[in-house]
Structure 1
Amino acid sequence: MFRHLQTILAGLVILTAGAAWAQSGQIAFGSEPHDNSQPVEVTSDNLDVDQTEGTAVFTGDVVVIQGEMRLSAPRVLVVYTEDRTGIERLEATGGNVILVNGPDVAEGERADYDVQTGLMDMQGNVILVQESGNTVTGDKLHVDTAAGTARMNGRVKTILLPSEEGN
């Protein structure tokens, strides 16, 4: 009985340490750093362009691809650079916003992606599933695609799967 209690307590310590790590430390995201200088390809059912504002709104099964990274959403607003020669940022909305980078997948209600810096903020019931099967949920996910890291904030819950080594 005492040995069983020790095992449970040790497991709780490991889970608590893992949850604290996820709240304050960096989480790996993607198999390697993303190259944000690659072209951005957008496909959708509809496109509305506003030349005076320098924006385009893609709606209906929108898929944005840049290298290995894939973003899908019901609606994506594209804001062009001031000189209209490139893309400054993307705003993916409509719920069911999904970001795939290598083996890792994140889902939330909204994502704002700065194409120039490679920084993305995802918010609204965010869930991140890593290649290992580990899952992290929270209110906001900040992804640095260039560094291949992420940080989850706001009532973070972490589910860590045991390693298969030694089994």
Structure 2
Amino acid sequence: MPSRFIALTFALFLALPVALVAAAAVAQGTNVAFGGLKADTRLPVEVTSENLTVDQTDGSATFAGDVLVKQGEMRIEADSVRVEYDTTGKAIARLHASGGVLVVNATDAAQAESAVYTIASGEVVMTGNVLLTQGQATIRGAALVINLQTGTGRIEGGVTTTFTPGGN
């Protein structure tokens, strides 16, 4: 057999798993591993911003302007983050981020228009023009649900993915 034919056959064999994964991701919803977005949700949450407004009536606090939320290696950036406390008023229940939301940890990054992070469950629900980047691969969809405790997630709604052949 000519070496060119063998090389082409081998290249097609290597590309097949990527093509199958890409085809599956074009479906309405797809599960994705988020090893890079796995985080220890028991660590302290640190928030920095330009402004802080506290609402005593509903027990919330709103950070605005270059908001940065850090928890261990994970960070969330947004234009605004509203902190919702639990019924005791002493612990954070949820973070509601809006405006240019970016969730980053290790090698993975996800962008969206808004996100809700429920601290106790470690669940982040991102909505609005979601873009997940893992190395050279990208996945787009309407919504992304990440479980930070397990490092798994699901992207839904018009899922489209792009893989670079030979990329990691």
Q: Please, what TM-score do these two structures have when normalized by structure 1?
A: 0.84
Q: 1:79–1:147: structure 2 CA closer, same or farther, 3 Å change rule? A: same
Verify the 8 A CA contact 1:120 1:145 in the aligned structure 2. Answer: yes
Match of 1:41 among 37, 46, 51: 46
1:68 equivalent to 2:67? Answer no
2: distance between equivalents of 1:164 and 1:53?
Answer: 49
Q: Which has the higher strand share?
A: 2
Question: After the TM superposition, which segments of 4 or more aligned residues of structure 1 sit over 4 Å from their partners?
Answer: 9-16
1:29 deviates by 1.5
Unaligned 5+ residue runs, structure 1?
none
1: distance between equivalents of 2:37 and 2:161?
Answer: 22
Q: Please, what TM-score do these two structures have when normalized by structure 2?
A: 0.84
Verify the 8 A CA contact 2:77 2:103 in the aligned structure 1. Answer: yes
Q: 1:106–1:75: structure 2 CA closer, same or farther, 3 Å change rule? A: same
Q: Which amino acid aligns with 2:93?
A: E
1:32 deviates by 6.7
1:33 deviates by 3.1
1: distance between equivalents of 2:68 and 2:30?
Answer: 30
**Count of residues in correspondence between the two structures:** 160
2:108 matched to which residue of 1? 104
1:86 matched to which residue of 2? 91
1:121 equivalent to 2:120? Answer no
Alpha-carbon RMSD = 2.6
2: distance between equivalents of 1:151 and 1:161?
Answer: 21
1:1-50 deviation per Cα after TM superposition (whole angstroms, max 9, x unaligned) = xx8xx99x989965552134435543121437311011000000000011
Q: 1:49–1:101: structure 2 CA closer, same or farther, 3 Å change rule? A: same
Q: Which amino acid aligns with 1:118?
A: G
Instruction: Give the secondary-structure state (helix, strand or coil) at the position aligned to 2:115.
Output: strand
1:31 matched to which residue of 2? 36
Verify the 8 A CA contact 2:136 2:167 in the aligned structure 1. Answer: no
Q: 1:26–1:11: structure 2 CA closer, same or farther, 3 Å change rule? A: same
Unaligned 5+ residue runs, structure 2?
none
Verify the 8 A CA contact 1:44 1:59 in the aligned structure 2. Answer: yes
Identity %: 42
2: distance between equivalents of 1:21 and 1:151?
Answer: 13
